[in-house]
Structure 1
Protein backbone atom coordinates (compact mmCIF):
# COMPACT_ATOMS: atom_id res chain seq x y z
CA UNK A 1 0.00 0.00 0.00
CA UNK A 2 1.37 3.38 -1.03
CA UNK A 3 0.16 5.31 2.00
CA UNK A 4 3.63 5.32 3.54
CA UNK A 5 5.11 7.14 0.56
CA UNK A 6 5.46 10.89 0.67
CA UNK A 7 2.66 12.58 -1.30
CA UNK A 8 3.65 13.63 -4.79
CA UNK A 9 6.76 11.45 -5.03
CA UNK A 10 5.19 8.38 -6.63
CA UNK A 11 6.31 7.47 -10.17
CA UNK A 12 2.74 6.26 -10.78
CA UNK A 13 1.42 9.74 -10.07
CA UNK A 14 4.11 11.34 -12.21
CA UNK A 15 3.25 9.07 -15.14
CA UNK A 16 -0.44 10.01 -14.88
CA UNK A 17 0.41 13.71 -14.68
CA UNK A 18 2.81 13.44 -17.61
CA UNK A 19 0.20 11.72 -19.77
CA UNK A 20 -2.08 14.69 -19.10
CA UNK A 21 0.41 17.52 -19.36
CA UNK A 22 2.78 16.27 -22.03
CA UNK A 23 0.20 14.37 -24.04
CA UNK A 24 -2.69 16.84 -24.00
CA UNK A 25 -1.47 20.22 -22.73
CA UNK A 26 1.78 20.11 -24.69
CA UNK A 27 0.24 18.43 -27.75
CA UNK A 28 2.43 15.30 -27.78
CA UNK A 29 -0.33 12.71 -27.74
CA UNK A 30 1.43 9.79 -29.39
CA UNK A 31 4.75 10.27 -27.62
CA UNK A 32 3.16 10.53 -24.18
CA UNK A 33 0.69 7.66 -24.47
CA UNK A 34 3.46 5.43 -25.82
CA UNK A 35 5.84 6.38 -23.00
CA UNK A 36 3.51 6.30 -20.00
CA UNK A 37 1.17 3.36 -20.69
CA UNK A 38 1.88 -0.35 -20.38
CA UNK A 39 1.29 -3.42 -22.52
CA UNK A 40 -2.42 -2.57 -22.62
CA UNK A 41 -4.43 0.61 -22.13
CA UNK A 42 -8.04 -0.23 -21.34
CA UNK A 43 -10.20 2.86 -21.76
CA UNK A 44 -13.49 3.88 -20.11
CA UNK A 45 -13.54 7.51 -21.27
CA UNK A 46 -16.55 8.42 -23.41
CA UNK A 47 -15.65 8.35 -27.09
CA UNK A 48 -12.10 7.03 -26.68
CA UNK A 49 -11.15 3.59 -27.94
CA UNK A 50 -8.77 1.27 -26.11
CA UNK A 51 -5.04 1.38 -26.69
CA UNK A 52 -2.44 3.80 -27.96
CA UNK A 53 -4.22 4.34 -31.27
CA UNK A 54 -7.52 5.07 -29.55
CA UNK A 55 -5.86 7.80 -27.47
CA UNK A 56 -4.12 9.29 -30.49
CA UNK A 57 -7.18 9.29 -32.76
CA UNK A 58 -9.19 11.13 -30.10
CA UNK A 59 -6.64 13.64 -28.84
CA UNK A 60 -4.80 14.68 -31.99
CA UNK A 61 -8.00 16.26 -33.43
CA UNK A 62 -8.78 17.64 -29.94
CA UNK A 63 -5.40 19.35 -29.88
CA UNK A 64 -5.99 20.81 -33.35
CA UNK A 65 -9.44 22.13 -32.39
CA UNK A 66 -8.11 23.65 -29.19
CA UNK A 67 -4.73 25.29 -29.88
CA UNK A 68 -4.81 27.20 -26.56
CA UNK A 69 -4.83 24.65 -23.73
CA UNK A 70 -4.39 25.67 -20.08
CA UNK A 71 -4.43 22.39 -18.14
CA UNK A 72 -3.67 22.30 -14.42
CA UNK A 73 -3.43 19.30 -12.09
CA UNK A 74 -5.12 20.53 -8.92
CA UNK A 75 -5.01 17.33 -6.83
CA UNK A 76 -3.37 13.99 -7.29
CA UNK A 77 -2.80 11.01 -5.03
CA UNK A 78 -1.90 7.33 -5.07
CA UNK A 79 -3.43 4.30 -3.37
CA UNK A 80 -1.59 1.06 -4.12
CA UNK A 81 -1.92 0.40 -7.85
CA UNK A 82 -4.40 3.26 -8.37
CA UNK A 83 -3.91 6.95 -9.08
CA UNK A 84 -6.48 9.75 -8.83
CA UNK A 85 -6.18 13.11 -10.65
CA UNK A 86 -8.38 16.21 -10.25
CA UNK A 87 -7.71 18.52 -13.22
CA UNK A 88 -8.88 21.88 -14.56
CA UNK A 89 -8.93 22.71 -18.27
CA UNK A 90 -9.43 26.11 -19.87
CA UNK A 91 -9.53 25.93 -23.65
CA UNK A 92 -9.07 28.69 -26.21
CA UNK A 93 -8.85 31.56 -23.79
CA UNK A 94 -11.60 30.31 -21.50
CA UNK A 95 -14.23 29.71 -24.18
CA UNK A 96 -14.65 26.27 -22.62
CA UNK A 97 -13.78 25.33 -19.04
CA UNK A 98 -13.86 21.75 -17.83
CA UNK A 99 -13.11 19.76 -14.71
CA UNK A 100 -11.87 16.21 -15.15
CA UNK A 101 -11.72 13.56 -12.43
CA UNK A 102 -9.56 10.62 -13.50
CA UNK A 103 -8.72 7.21 -12.06
CA UNK A 104 -5.80 5.18 -13.39
CA UNK A 105 -4.75 1.59 -12.78
CA UNK A 106 -1.05 0.81 -13.14
CA UNK A 107 1.13 -2.22 -13.68
CA UNK A 108 4.21 -3.48 -11.79
CA UNK A 109 6.35 -0.98 -13.74
CA UNK A 110 4.14 1.97 -12.70
CA UNK A 111 2.83 2.35 -16.26
CA UNK A 112 -0.87 3.13 -16.86
CA UNK A 113 -2.97 0.16 -18.00
CA UNK A 114 -6.56 1.34 -17.42
CA UNK A 115 -8.39 4.66 -17.17
CA UNK A 116 -11.79 5.89 -16.00
CA UNK A 117 -12.92 9.53 -16.04
CA UNK A 118 -15.86 11.82 -15.45
CA UNK A 119 -15.86 15.25 -17.12
CA UNK A 120 -18.16 18.20 -16.37
CA UNK A 121 -18.22 21.95 -16.79
CA UNK A 122 -16.45 24.31 -14.39
CA UNK A 123 -18.81 26.16 -12.04
CA UNK A 124 -19.15 28.11 -8.78
CA UNK A 125 -21.23 26.90 -5.82
CA UNK A 126 -23.94 28.96 -4.07
CA UNK A 127 -21.35 29.72 -1.36
CA UNK A 128 -18.82 30.99 -3.89
CA UNK A 129 -16.58 27.92 -4.00
CA UNK A 130 -15.40 26.80 -7.41
CA UNK A 131 -15.43 23.19 -8.54
CA UNK A 132 -11.65 22.89 -7.98
CA UNK A 133 -10.51 25.38 -5.33
CA UNK A 134 -9.95 24.48 -1.68
CA UNK A 135 -7.41 22.48 0.28
CA UNK A 136 -4.86 20.43 -1.69
CA UNK A 137 -2.34 19.32 0.97
CA UNK A 138 -2.27 15.60 1.74
CA UNK A 139 -1.93 14.82 5.46
CA UNK A 140 -2.81 12.00 7.89
CA UNK A 141 -1.16 9.28 5.81
CA UNK A 142 -1.76 6.78 8.61
CA UNK A 143 -5.55 7.24 8.30
CA UNK A 144 -6.02 6.27 4.66
CA UNK A 145 -7.90 3.02 5.22
CA UNK A 146 -9.97 4.46 8.06
CA UNK A 147 -11.01 7.42 5.92
CA UNK A 148 -11.88 5.21 2.95
CA UNK A 149 -14.18 3.15 5.17
CA UNK A 150 -15.87 6.30 6.49
CA UNK A 151 -16.60 7.39 2.91
CA UNK A 152 -17.89 3.94 1.91
CA UNK A 153 -20.20 3.94 4.92
CA UNK A 154 -21.47 7.45 4.11
CA UNK A 155 -22.49 6.34 0.63
CA UNK A 156 -23.92 2.99 1.71
CA UNK A 157 -25.71 4.12 4.86
CA UNK A 158 -27.06 7.47 3.69
CA UNK A 159 -26.90 8.09 -0.05
CA UNK A 160 -27.46 4.76 -1.78
CA UNK A 161 -30.91 3.50 -2.66
CA UNK A 162 -32.40 2.34 0.63
CA UNK A 163 -30.00 4.40 2.75
CA UNK A 164 -31.13 6.64 5.59
CA UNK A 165 -30.18 10.34 5.34
CA UNK A 166 -30.47 10.55 9.13
CA UNK A 167 -27.07 8.82 9.18
CA UNK A 168 -25.32 11.70 7.41
CA UNK A 169 -24.18 13.46 10.64
CA UNK A 170 -22.30 10.29 11.59
CA UNK A 171 -19.91 10.92 8.70
CA UNK A 172 -20.11 14.61 7.76
CA UNK A 173 -19.06 17.72 9.72
CA UNK A 174 -21.70 20.37 10.36
CA UNK A 175 -19.61 23.06 8.64
CA UNK A 176 -18.65 21.05 5.56
CA UNK A 177 -17.25 23.13 2.69
CA UNK A 178 -19.28 22.25 -0.38
CA UNK A 179 -18.17 22.53 -4.01
CA UNK A 180 -21.36 21.10 -5.52
CA UNK A 181 -22.92 23.54 -7.98
CA UNK A 182 -26.34 23.37 -6.30
CA UNK A 183 -25.54 23.17 -2.58
CA UNK A 184 -24.24 25.83 -0.19
CA UNK A 185 -21.80 25.09 2.62
CA UNK A 186 -23.04 23.30 5.72
CA UNK A 187 -24.45 19.85 6.41
CA UNK A 188 -28.12 20.86 6.21
CA UNK A 189 -28.09 21.27 2.42
CA UNK A 190 -26.86 17.69 2.01
CA UNK A 191 -29.43 16.37 4.47
CA UNK A 192 -32.21 18.27 2.72
CA UNK A 193 -31.19 16.96 -0.68
CA UNK A 194 -30.89 13.36 0.48
CA UNK A 195 -34.14 13.49 2.47
CA UNK A 196 -36.43 14.44 -0.39
CA UNK A 197 -39.16 11.76 -0.70
CA UNK A 198 -38.40 11.24 -4.38
CA UNK A 199 -34.84 12.51 -4.53
CA UNK A 200 -33.44 12.63 -8.05
CA UNK A 201 -29.94 11.25 -7.48
CA UNK A 202 -29.41 7.77 -6.06
CA UNK A 203 -26.13 5.91 -5.78
CA UNK A 204 -26.29 2.28 -6.86
CA UNK A 205 -22.76 0.93 -6.64
CA UNK A 206 -19.26 2.04 -5.64
CA UNK A 207 -16.99 1.12 -8.54
CA UNK A 208 -13.69 2.52 -7.22
CA UNK A 209 -12.61 3.95 -3.88
CA UNK A 210 -9.12 5.48 -3.91
CA UNK A 211 -7.56 7.40 -1.06
CA UNK A 212 -4.39 8.79 0.43
CA UNK A 213 -4.39 10.27 3.89
CA UNK A 214 -7.09 12.89 4.32
CA UNK A 215 -8.38 12.57 0.72
CA UNK A 216 -10.70 9.90 -0.70
CA UNK A 217 -12.19 9.77 -4.21
CA UNK A 218 -14.97 7.45 -5.33
CA UNK A 219 -16.35 6.51 -8.73
CA UNK A 220 -19.95 5.36 -8.42
CA UNK A 221 -22.70 4.13 -10.67
CA UNK A 222 -25.74 6.34 -10.04
CA UNK A 223 -29.16 7.15 -11.43
CA UNK A 224 -30.80 10.55 -11.84
CA UNK A 225 -34.59 10.59 -12.13
CA UNK A 226 -36.40 13.87 -11.53
CA UNK A 227 -39.72 12.71 -12.96
CA UNK A 228 -38.98 13.91 -16.47
CA UNK A 229 -35.44 12.58 -16.95
CA UNK A 230 -34.32 9.04 -16.14
CA UNK A 231 -30.58 8.82 -16.82
CA UNK A 232 -27.75 6.64 -15.54
CA UNK A 233 -24.67 8.62 -14.49
CA UNK A 234 -21.05 8.07 -13.64
CA UNK A 235 -20.57 9.99 -10.39
CA UNK A 236 -17.24 11.02 -8.88
CA UNK A 237 -16.99 12.40 -5.37
CA UNK A 238 -13.84 13.75 -3.75
CA UNK A 239 -13.82 14.03 0.03
CA UNK A 240 -11.41 15.65 2.47
CA UNK A 241 -11.63 14.33 6.02
CA UNK A 242 -10.55 15.55 9.43
CA UNK A 243 -11.02 13.77 12.74
CA UNK A 244 -13.19 11.05 11.27
CA UNK A 245 -15.63 13.23 9.32
CA UNK A 246 -15.92 14.75 5.85
CA UNK A 247 -15.09 18.45 6.00
CA UNK A 248 -14.89 19.29 2.29
CA UNK A 249 -16.51 17.80 -0.83
CA UNK A 250 -16.15 18.13 -4.61
CA UNK A 251 -18.09 16.19 -7.23
CA UNK A 252 -18.45 15.53 -10.96
CA UNK A 253 -21.14 13.68 -12.89
CA UNK A 254 -21.43 12.58 -16.51
CA UNK A 255 -24.21 10.70 -18.34
CA UNK A 256 -23.50 7.08 -19.18
CA UNK A 257 -23.71 6.83 -22.98
CA UNK A 258 -26.08 4.33 -24.55
CA UNK A 259 -23.41 3.23 -27.00
CA UNK A 260 -19.69 2.84 -26.33
CA UNK A 261 -16.56 2.56 -28.45
CA UNK A 262 -14.86 0.81 -25.51
CA UNK A 263 -15.94 -1.37 -22.57
CA UNK A 264 -18.16 1.35 -21.07
CA UNK A 265 -17.88 3.91 -18.26
CA UNK A 266 -17.29 1.28 -15.59
Structure 2
Protein backbone atom coordinates (compact mmCIF):
# COMPACT_ATOMS: atom_id res chain seq x y z
CA UNK A 1 0.00 0.00 0.00
CA UNK A 2 1.12 3.56 -0.69
CA UNK A 3 1.47 6.56 1.54
CA UNK A 4 -2.09 7.76 0.93
CA UNK A 5 -3.44 4.48 2.33
CA UNK A 6 -1.17 4.77 5.34
CA UNK A 7 -2.38 8.33 5.92
CA UNK A 8 -6.01 7.20 5.87
CA UNK A 9 -5.32 4.31 8.21
CA UNK A 10 -3.32 6.46 10.60
CA UNK A 11 -6.04 9.11 10.78
CA UNK A 12 -8.23 6.33 12.19
CA UNK A 13 -5.68 4.54 14.34
CA UNK A 14 -3.68 7.45 15.72
CA UNK A 15 -6.51 9.94 15.79
CA UNK A 16 -9.42 7.87 17.10
CA UNK A 17 -8.13 4.54 18.44
CA UNK A 18 -5.10 6.07 20.16
CA UNK A 19 -6.91 9.24 21.19
CA UNK A 20 -4.85 11.93 19.41
CA UNK A 21 -7.39 13.62 17.11
CA UNK A 22 -5.70 17.01 16.72
CA UNK A 23 -2.25 15.59 16.08
CA UNK A 24 -3.54 13.07 13.55
CA UNK A 25 -5.89 15.31 11.60
CA UNK A 26 -3.20 17.98 11.36
CA UNK A 27 -0.60 15.46 10.20
CA UNK A 28 -2.65 13.53 7.65
CA UNK A 29 -5.01 16.06 6.04
CA UNK A 30 -4.22 18.67 3.43
CA UNK A 31 -4.97 22.31 2.77
CA UNK A 32 -8.67 21.53 3.11
CA UNK A 33 -10.61 18.70 4.68
CA UNK A 34 -14.11 18.52 3.24
CA UNK A 35 -16.27 16.34 5.44
CA UNK A 36 -19.39 14.33 4.57
CA UNK A 37 -19.64 12.38 7.84
CA UNK A 38 -22.90 12.98 9.69
CA UNK A 39 -22.44 15.51 12.48
CA UNK A 40 -18.84 16.48 11.68
CA UNK A 41 -17.92 19.94 10.42
CA UNK A 42 -15.32 20.53 7.72
CA UNK A 43 -11.68 21.06 8.58
CA UNK A 44 -9.29 20.28 11.40
CA UNK A 45 -11.43 21.97 14.04
CA UNK A 46 -14.54 20.08 12.96
CA UNK A 47 -12.72 16.76 13.38
CA UNK A 48 -11.32 17.77 16.78
CA UNK A 49 -14.57 19.11 18.18
CA UNK A 50 -16.36 15.87 17.26
CA UNK A 51 -13.75 13.32 18.31
CA UNK A 52 -12.36 14.83 21.51
CA UNK A 53 -15.73 14.37 23.31
CA UNK A 54 -16.18 10.98 21.59
CA UNK A 55 -12.85 9.79 22.96
CA UNK A 56 -13.68 11.10 26.44
CA UNK A 57 -17.06 9.32 26.44
CA UNK A 58 -15.59 6.10 25.10
CA UNK A 59 -12.30 5.23 26.83
CA UNK A 60 -12.13 1.74 25.27
CA UNK A 61 -11.84 1.82 21.47
CA UNK A 62 -10.93 -1.34 19.57
CA UNK A 63 -10.62 -0.29 15.92
CA UNK A 64 -9.61 -2.84 13.29
CA UNK A 65 -9.07 -2.06 9.61
CA UNK A 66 -10.30 -5.13 7.76
CA UNK A 67 -9.88 -4.09 4.13
CA UNK A 68 -8.09 -1.32 2.28
CA UNK A 69 -8.39 -0.39 -1.40
CA UNK A 70 -6.17 2.19 -3.07
CA UNK A 71 -7.22 3.47 -6.48
CA UNK A 72 -5.42 6.50 -7.88
CA UNK A 73 -6.21 9.44 -5.63
CA UNK A 74 -8.81 7.49 -3.64
CA UNK A 75 -8.58 5.19 -0.63
CA UNK A 76 -11.33 2.98 0.76
CA UNK A 77 -11.34 1.43 4.24
CA UNK A 78 -13.62 -1.26 5.71
CA UNK A 79 -13.41 -0.87 9.49
CA UNK A 80 -14.72 -2.65 12.58
CA UNK A 81 -15.19 -0.66 15.79
CA UNK A 82 -15.84 -2.13 19.24
CA UNK A 83 -16.64 0.65 21.68
CA UNK A 84 -16.34 0.24 25.46
CA UNK A 85 -15.83 -3.51 25.40
CA UNK A 86 -18.92 -4.38 23.40
CA UNK A 87 -21.22 -1.56 24.49
CA UNK A 88 -21.49 -0.72 20.79
CA UNK A 89 -20.11 -2.43 17.68
CA UNK A 90 -20.03 -0.63 14.36
CA UNK A 91 -18.91 -1.18 10.79
CA UNK A 92 -17.61 1.93 9.09
CA UNK A 93 -17.02 2.17 5.35
CA UNK A 94 -14.89 5.19 4.43
CA UNK A 95 -13.80 6.80 1.18
CA UNK A 96 -10.95 9.35 1.15
CA UNK A 97 -9.81 11.70 -1.60
CA UNK A 98 -6.19 12.82 -1.48
CA UNK A 99 -4.05 15.56 -2.98
CA UNK A 100 -0.74 15.42 -4.85
CA UNK A 101 1.09 15.06 -1.51
CA UNK A 102 -1.08 12.06 -0.54
CA UNK A 103 -2.78 14.08 2.21
CA UNK A 104 -6.52 13.60 2.78
CA UNK A 105 -8.70 16.42 1.44
CA UNK A 106 -12.20 14.88 1.47
CA UNK A 107 -14.01 12.10 3.34
CA UNK A 108 -17.27 10.21 2.95
CA UNK A 109 -18.53 7.47 5.24
CA UNK A 110 -21.43 5.14 5.93
CA UNK A 111 -21.78 3.68 9.42
CA UNK A 112 -24.04 0.81 10.49
CA UNK A 113 -24.29 -1.65 13.39
CA UNK A 114 -22.07 -4.74 13.24
CA UNK A 115 -23.91 -8.01 12.55
CA UNK A 116 -22.33 -11.05 14.20
CA UNK A 117 -24.45 -13.54 12.28
CA UNK A 118 -25.98 -13.79 8.83
CA UNK A 119 -28.40 -16.47 7.53
CA UNK A 120 -25.39 -18.42 6.23
CA UNK A 121 -23.29 -18.03 9.36
CA UNK A 122 -20.99 -15.16 8.38
CA UNK A 123 -20.52 -11.76 9.97
CA UNK A 124 -20.65 -8.35 8.34
CA UNK A 125 -16.84 -8.11 8.21
CA UNK A 126 -15.35 -11.63 7.94
CA UNK A 127 -14.32 -13.25 4.68
CA UNK A 128 -11.53 -12.78 2.17
CA UNK A 129 -9.10 -9.88 2.48
CA UNK A 130 -6.32 -10.73 0.02
CA UNK A 131 -5.98 -8.38 -2.94
CA UNK A 132 -5.11 -10.25 -6.14
CA UNK A 133 -5.54 -9.82 -9.91
CA UNK A 134 -4.12 -6.31 -10.04
CA UNK A 135 -4.14 -6.51 -13.83
CA UNK A 136 -7.93 -6.84 -13.74
CA UNK A 137 -8.67 -3.70 -11.73
CA UNK A 138 -10.29 -1.71 -14.53
CA UNK A 139 -12.28 -4.61 -15.97
CA UNK A 140 -13.59 -5.52 -12.51
CA UNK A 141 -14.61 -1.91 -11.89
CA UNK A 142 -16.52 -1.92 -15.16
CA UNK A 143 -18.30 -5.18 -14.25
CA UNK A 144 -19.47 -3.65 -10.96
CA UNK A 145 -20.57 -0.45 -12.67
CA UNK A 146 -22.65 -2.42 -15.16
CA UNK A 147 -24.09 -4.59 -12.38
CA UNK A 148 -25.43 -1.56 -10.55
CA UNK A 149 -26.60 0.34 -13.61
CA UNK A 150 -28.16 -2.66 -15.35
CA UNK A 151 -29.73 -4.47 -12.40
CA UNK A 152 -29.99 -2.38 -9.25
CA UNK A 153 -30.93 1.10 -10.38
CA UNK A 154 -34.53 2.17 -10.65
CA UNK A 155 -35.94 0.67 -13.83
CA UNK A 156 -33.11 -1.85 -14.11
CA UNK A 157 -33.54 -5.52 -14.95
CA UNK A 158 -32.49 -7.75 -12.07
CA UNK A 159 -33.04 -10.80 -14.28
CA UNK A 160 -29.57 -9.99 -15.64
CA UNK A 161 -27.81 -10.48 -12.30
CA UNK A 162 -26.23 -13.74 -13.43
CA UNK A 163 -24.30 -11.76 -16.06
CA UNK A 164 -22.32 -10.24 -13.21
CA UNK A 165 -22.67 -12.51 -10.15
CA UNK A 166 -21.47 -16.10 -10.04
CA UNK A 167 -24.14 -18.80 -9.99
CA UNK A 168 -21.68 -21.24 -8.44
CA UNK A 169 -20.39 -19.17 -5.51
CA UNK A 170 -21.86 -16.02 -3.98
CA UNK A 171 -20.88 -15.38 -0.35
CA UNK A 172 -23.21 -12.85 1.23
CA UNK A 173 -22.43 -10.75 4.32
CA UNK A 174 -25.74 -8.85 4.41
CA UNK A 175 -27.42 -9.62 7.73
CA UNK A 176 -30.70 -10.56 6.06
CA UNK A 177 -29.64 -12.48 2.94
CA UNK A 178 -28.32 -16.04 2.63
CA UNK A 179 -25.47 -17.15 0.37
CA UNK A 180 -26.17 -17.94 -3.25
CA UNK A 181 -27.36 -15.87 -6.17
CA UNK A 182 -30.88 -17.29 -6.03
CA UNK A 183 -31.62 -15.70 -2.64
CA UNK A 184 -30.51 -12.26 -3.75
CA UNK A 185 -32.18 -12.57 -7.14
CA UNK A 186 -35.51 -13.35 -5.49
CA UNK A 187 -35.33 -10.07 -3.60
CA UNK A 188 -34.00 -8.00 -6.47
CA UNK A 189 -36.53 -9.22 -9.06
CA UNK A 190 -39.52 -8.47 -6.84
CA UNK A 191 -41.47 -5.85 -8.84
CA UNK A 192 -42.23 -4.05 -5.58
CA UNK A 193 -38.71 -4.17 -4.18
CA UNK A 194 -38.34 -1.24 -1.78
CA UNK A 195 -34.64 -0.49 -2.37
CA UNK A 196 -33.47 1.12 -5.60
CA UNK A 197 -30.16 2.74 -6.47
CA UNK A 198 -30.28 6.21 -8.03
CA UNK A 199 -26.66 7.23 -8.63
CA UNK A 200 -23.12 5.91 -8.30
CA UNK A 201 -21.25 8.63 -6.41
CA UNK A 202 -17.89 6.87 -5.98
CA UNK A 203 -16.48 3.66 -7.43
CA UNK A 204 -12.98 2.53 -6.47
CA UNK A 205 -11.19 -0.72 -7.11
CA UNK A 206 -7.95 -2.57 -6.67
CA UNK A 207 -7.52 -5.95 -8.27
CA UNK A 208 -10.31 -8.29 -7.21
CA UNK A 209 -12.00 -5.78 -4.86
CA UNK A 210 -14.36 -2.95 -5.84
CA UNK A 211 -16.21 -0.61 -3.48
CA UNK A 212 -19.04 1.78 -4.36
CA UNK A 213 -20.91 4.61 -2.66
CA UNK A 214 -24.39 5.12 -4.12
CA UNK A 215 -27.41 7.29 -3.57
CA UNK A 216 -30.34 4.98 -2.90
CA UNK A 217 -33.97 5.16 -1.89
CA UNK A 218 -36.09 2.87 0.26
CA UNK A 219 -39.78 3.19 -0.45
CA UNK A 220 -42.53 0.96 0.89
CA UNK A 221 -45.89 1.39 2.59
CA UNK A 222 -44.22 2.63 5.77
CA UNK A 223 -41.43 4.90 4.64
CA UNK A 224 -39.87 6.79 1.79
CA UNK A 225 -36.29 7.68 2.70
CA UNK A 226 -33.00 8.41 1.00
CA UNK A 227 -29.99 6.34 1.98
CA UNK A 228 -26.26 6.27 1.46
CA UNK A 229 -25.41 2.75 0.31
CA UNK A 230 -21.91 1.25 0.29
CA UNK A 231 -21.23 -2.10 -1.38
CA UNK A 232 -17.96 -4.05 -1.44
CA UNK A 233 -17.55 -6.71 -4.10
CA UNK A 234 -14.92 -9.41 -4.52
CA UNK A 235 -14.59 -10.84 -8.02
CA UNK A 236 -13.14 -13.99 -9.53
CA UNK A 237 -12.91 -14.67 -13.25
CA UNK A 238 -15.15 -11.78 -14.19
CA UNK A 239 -17.97 -12.48 -11.72
CA UNK A 240 -18.82 -11.25 -8.22
CA UNK A 241 -18.30 -14.05 -5.68
CA UNK A 242 -18.51 -12.18 -2.36
CA UNK A 243 -20.38 -9.12 -1.13
CA UNK A 244 -20.46 -6.86 1.92
CA UNK A 245 -22.64 -3.77 2.38
CA UNK A 246 -23.37 -0.88 4.70
CA UNK A 247 -26.29 1.55 4.67
CA UNK A 248 -27.11 4.77 6.50
CA UNK A 249 -30.08 7.11 6.27
CA UNK A 250 -29.24 10.49 4.74
CA UNK A 251 -29.86 13.20 7.36
CA UNK A 252 -32.26 16.01 6.49
CA UNK A 253 -30.00 18.65 8.03
CA UNK A 254 -26.33 18.36 8.89
CA UNK A 255 -23.36 20.54 9.84
CA UNK A 256 -21.44 20.04 6.60
CA UNK A 257 -22.25 19.95 2.88
CA UNK A 258 -24.15 16.69 3.16
CA UNK A 259 -23.68 12.94 2.87
CA UNK A 260 -22.50 13.12 -0.74
TM-score (norm. length: structure 1) = 0.96
1:136 to 115, 129, 135: 129
Give the drift of 1:86: 0.2
Q: In structure 1, how many angstroms separate the alpha carbons of the residues matched to 2:236 and 2:245?
A: 18
Alignment gaps of 5+ in structure 2: none
Matched, 1:204 2:223: no
Instruction: Give the TM-score, by structure 2 length.
Output: 0.99
Q: Note if 1:215 corresponds to 2:215.
A: no
**Deviation at 1:226?**
2.1
Q: Does 1:37 align with 2:29?
A: yes
Partner SS for 2:233: strand
Question: CA offsets per residue over residues 46-77 of structure 1, 9 Å max, x none?
Answer: 00000000000000000011100000000001
Q: How far apart are residue 225 of structure 1 and its match? A: 1.1
**Structure 1 residue 91, shift from structure 2 partner:** 0.5
Distance 2:101 2:221 in 1: 48
**Does residue 1:244 correspond to 2:238, yes or no?**
yes
1:1-266 aligned at under 5 Å gives the runs 9-123=1-115, 124-174=117-167, 175-266=169-260
Runs of 4+ in 1 over 6 A off after TM superposition: none
Matched residue of 1:173: which SS?
coil
Q: Tell me the distance in 1 between the aligned counterparts of 2:228 and 2:208.
A: 23
3-state SS, counterpart of residue 67 of structure 2: strand
Q: Unmatched 5+ residue regions in structure 1?
A: 1-8
Q: Equivalents in 2 of 1:77, 1:230: separation in Å?
A: 32
Q: For 2:127, what is the secondary structure of its paired residue?
A: coil
Q: CA–CA distance in 1 between the matches of 2:210 and 2:221?
A: 32
For the aligned residue pairs, the C-alpha RMSD in angstroms reads 0.5
2-side partners of 1:220 and 1:181: how far apart? 19
Q: Distance in 2 between matches of 1:226 and 1:59?
A: 36
Partner Cα distance (2:50, 2:153) in 1: 34
Query: What is the Cα deviation at residue 197 of structure 1?
Result: 1.5
Offset from partner CA, 1:141-172 (integer Å, 9 cap, x none): 00000000000000010110010011100000
Tell me the residue number matched to 1:6: none
Per-residue CA deviations over 1:116-156 (Å, capped at 9, x if unaligned) read 00000000211111000000000000000000000000001
Give the C-alpha shift of residue 196 in structure 1.
1.0
